[in-house]
Amino acid sequence: MLEKAVLEKYLSLAMSSQADFAEIYEEKEINENISMRDGLVEDVDTEEIAGIGIRLYKGTQSVYAYSHASDEAAVLPMIEDLKAAIGTSDKTASVTLTRVEYENRHPVKVDFTKTPLADRVQLLTRATNAAKEADSRIVKVMAGILNVKQEVQISTSEGRLIGDTRVRTRLMCEAFAKEGDNLQSGADRPGGGCGLEFYEQVTPEEIGREAARGAIVNLSAVDCPSGRMPVIIDNGFGGVIFHEACGHSLEATGVAKNQSVFAGKQGQRIAAPCVSAVDDGTIPNAWGSENIDDEGNFQQRRLLIKDGILQSYMIDRLNGRRMGQASTGSGRRQSYKYEPTSRMSNTFILPGDSSFEEMFEGIEKGLYCKKMGGGSVNPITGEFNFAVREGYLIENGKITKPVRGAALIGSGSEILMNIDRVCDNLARSQGMCGSMSGSIPTDVGQPAIRVTSITVGGTANE
């Protein structure tokens, strides 16, 4: 990371232009990927990423330059390019930085860079063995672990100098079950914003067994019927529905330019009264947490929806200027190769008061989505889709046979209004979210929710 005096020199130079704000983002990341197939270690790949990104604003215009090289010979021409793009001037600026200290909310107990490689391999062996031992029909198990340590330092022309170290780990296990010619897979991929102590809370054995369970269920699954029907989406990764259908449309990236269905709706009803939701980047050691965002602002707990009424958007600094609102600490990016923009952190629907059993009352024919796959949304139209990874038919209020190949589609503004019950079983789950500023870790989550009617696209020709 660059010295304070060097940063002050660069920021002063950058501000000696028509720019009214300047920011320098420095990053150094080491990540490690270990992969195992059927108990044998296949690859151990390590990657080091380090570089610098410099950004200037003039009003709502932004110019950005990045480079893997951060020596003066690389940085000075970058600053000159940026000044030329934003407009040169005779102005002479002087920036003085003050380092901001704070208490780390996300302490790490077991740093992967300080443990023997064999310890991480052992985690994969444990998950693999558990998956294989779960059922004789498990014929193949792939396991992988990702460990990341990212250090960032952000300095701005407003005099702020602040840093953060983010440590993350995630263990992925995919099991394949075979019966005759029928080959099906199941997977589990939990992770946390912490060190290897994570695997004391969530053991590799649990991860392996969960992957095997999913594969076995899919062996007996039948094609899912199609049409509009009531749907119960269970907790954990089920929250991808809120993430896709609503979360992205509440990001300032779209809202600021009136490119979101929820633009201009603050204070208005956008969801059923039983729905409250937050985006909380402060949860200790959660997968989507960090002390500060990638613009150097402290992460926050943002109440997005309260009793169905839109409270707040997720706002980065630049789009905040366009909206006339302050940043909510939501400026995130994959690496220095991306300009930050407003992004989610840990986003979830708050628990309601229905018991799990009450959720099923009165449903004659519907779909119970125990596990969701990923999905996507068009924030301009609000149309979303997502895949059901493990689903079951609901017949006369009871969960019956497993189905596969289902997709749920709809428009975000409509689905939020059609939630009629919210369960009390809140759980979060981990994912990678891709958008303009790259791929970043986010938690999705919710208690089980019931949607009165949603279009289910199935593979059954009925």
- Interacting residues with another protein between 153 and 192 (CB under 8 A): 176, 183-185
Site for another protein in 87-126 (CB under 8 A): 117-118, 121
Q: CA 78, 80, 86, 90 torsion: positive or negative?
A: positive
By CB under 8 A, name the one of 404, 421, 428, 450 that touches another protein: 404
- The reply to whether 288 sits near another protein by the rule CB under 8 A is no
Nearer to another protein, 228 or 398 (CB): 228
Choose the stretch contacting another protein; rule: CB under 8 A; options: 93-101, 251-259, 302-310, 443-451.
251-259
The bridge status of strand 21-37 relative to strand 138-156 is antiparallel
Please tell me whether residue 425 binds another protein under the rule CB under 8 A. Answer: no
Of the residues 266, 311, 337, 452, which one makes contact with another protein according to CB under 8 A:
337
For residues 162 and 403, which CB has a smaller minimum distance to another protein in the complex?
403
- Out of 61, 129, 418, 453, the only residue in the binding site for another protein (CB under 8 A) is 61
Interactions with another protein, residue window 213-232 (CB under 8 A)? 224, 226-228
**Residue nearer to another protein on the CB measure, 351 or 405:** 405
Judged by CB under 8 A, which of 21, 64, 199, 237 binds another protein? Answer: 64
Output the 3-class SS for 44-58: EEEEEEEEEEEEEEE
Residues 6+ away with beta carbon under 8 Å from 191? 146, 168, 169, 170, 171, 198, 287, 430, 441
The radius of gyration computed from the CA coordinates of the chain, to the nearest angstrom, equals 24
Residue list 5-24, contact with another protein (CB under 8 A)? none
One character per residue 349-388, x = contact with another protein (rule: CB under 8 A): ------------------------xxxx-x-xx-xxxxx-
Contact by Cβ (8 Å): 234, 451: no
Residue closer to another protein, measured from CB, 29 or 280: 29
d(CA 427, CA 443): 10
- The only residue of 350, 407, 417, 427 in contact with another protein, by rule CB under 8 A: 407
60-93 burial string, b = 16+ CB within 10 Å, else e? eebbbbbbeebeeeebeebbeebbebbeeeeeee
CB nearer to another protein: give 183 or 399. 183
Q: Show Cβ contacts of residue 193 under 8 Å, excluding neighbours closer than 6 positions.
A: 106, 166, 167, 168, 285, 286, 287, 288, 289, 290, 441
Candidates 10-18, 65-73, 155-163, 289-297 — which segment interacts with another protein by CB under 8 A? 65-73
- Binding status of residue 339 toward another protein by CB under 8 A: yes
Q: Which of residues 24, 75, 82, 310 is near another protein by CB under 8 A?
A: 82
Query: Looking up tokens 């099991």, which residue turns up?
Result: 175
**CA 135-141-143 angle, 5° bins:** 130
The residue from 1, 4, 6, 50 that contacts another protein (CB under 8 A) is 50
Q: How far apart are CA 46 and CA 323, in angstroms?
A: 41
